[in-house]
């Protein structure tokens, strides 16, 4: 290959890399928007004033919410090894295909392989996500913009998926996300931002 050809090929890879980083950023905003919203709705579930009225059991009941907070729903909370989800993203005139496959699950993390195909080129990388949110995330959630939540049913590959739809305005623009616990590999069903649309194509498991 000529020096000019090498330069062109390298430039193309750099553009694809930047595109994928931006796409992953938007998808993470979408997924964690719903996760953080769950934290805000979980907090009022056990008011401290009611437990304080109970004379003896009060100390024991105050520790109960901490346990519930740790077991709070997470987009990957129900993932099992072998679960997978396949997506198609339209952005900037390009079509991107992505497939997530769960490779390892522990008590506090999920590891998955992400295979991405853009313009006929396939890239693969392994990522690990924590299943518990650090305290900093809970603090940020109280300062986050208002999130509008609705229930919707989405048809994917002949299946009806019960979804939680979240709509929120971020610095990157409006983000609309549809999540379903029926999709164990991440929960994402659809995501629409100002620059991209991602839709679930198929999902399944090794079972």
Residue boundaries of the structural domains of the chain: 3-43+72-204
pLDDT tens by residue, 65-77? 433 343 347 899 9
pTM over 0.75: no
Kindly report which listed range (117-121, 140-144, 167-171, 190-194) carries the lowest average pLDDT score: 140-144
* pLDDT at site 42: 42
Q: Region 25-45: what's the mean pLDDT? A: 48
- Provide the pLDDT for residue 163: 96
Task: Give 204's pLDDT tier (boundaries 50, 70, 90).
Answer: very high
Coil, strand or helix at 18: helix
CA distances (Å), 58 to each of 43, 44, 46, 181, in order?
18, 17, 12, 34
The 3-state DSSP class for residue 182 equals: coil
* Percent of the chain clearing pLDDT 70 (strictly above): 59
Ranked by mean pLDDT, the top range of 26-35, 37-46, 169-178 is 169-178
Separation of alpha carbons 188 and 12, rounded Å: 29
Q: Please determine, for residue 133, whether its predicted confidence score (pLDDT) is greater than 90.
A: no
CATH domain 3-43+72-204 topology: outer membrane lipoprotein receptor (LolB), chain A (2.50.20)
Q: Do residues 87 and 101 make contact, with C-beta atoms less than 8 angstroms apart?
A: no
What pLDDT does residue 171 have? 84
85 forms bridges with which residues in the sheet?
Answer: 100, 203
């Amino acid at each position: 290959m000529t020096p000019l050809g090498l330069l062109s090929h390298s430039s193309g890879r750099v553009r694809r890399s930047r595109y994928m980083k931006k796409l992953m950023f938007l998808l993470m905003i979408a997924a964690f928007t719903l996760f953080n919203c769950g934290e805000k709705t979980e907090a009022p579930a056990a008011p401290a004033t009611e437990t304080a009225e109970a004379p003896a059991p009060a100390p024991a009941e105050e520790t109960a919410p901490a346990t519930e907070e740790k077991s709070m729903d997470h987009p990957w909370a129900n993932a099992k090894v072998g679960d997978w989800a396949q997506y198609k993203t339209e952005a900037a005139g390009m079509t991107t295909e992505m497939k997530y496959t769960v490779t390892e699950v522990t008590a506090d993390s999920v590891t998955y392989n992400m295979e991405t195909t853009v313009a006929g080129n396939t890239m693969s990388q392994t990522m690990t996500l924590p299943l518990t949110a650090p305290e900093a995330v809970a603090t940020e959630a109280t300062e986050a913009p208002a999130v509008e939540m609705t229930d919707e049913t989405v048809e994917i590959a002949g299946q009806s998926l019960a979804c939680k739809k979240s709509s929120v305005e971020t610095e990157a623009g409006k983000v609309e996300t549809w999540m379903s616990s029926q999709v164990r590999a991440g929960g994402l069903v659809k995501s629409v931002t100002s620059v991209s649309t991602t839709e679930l194509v198929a999902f399944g498991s090794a079972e």
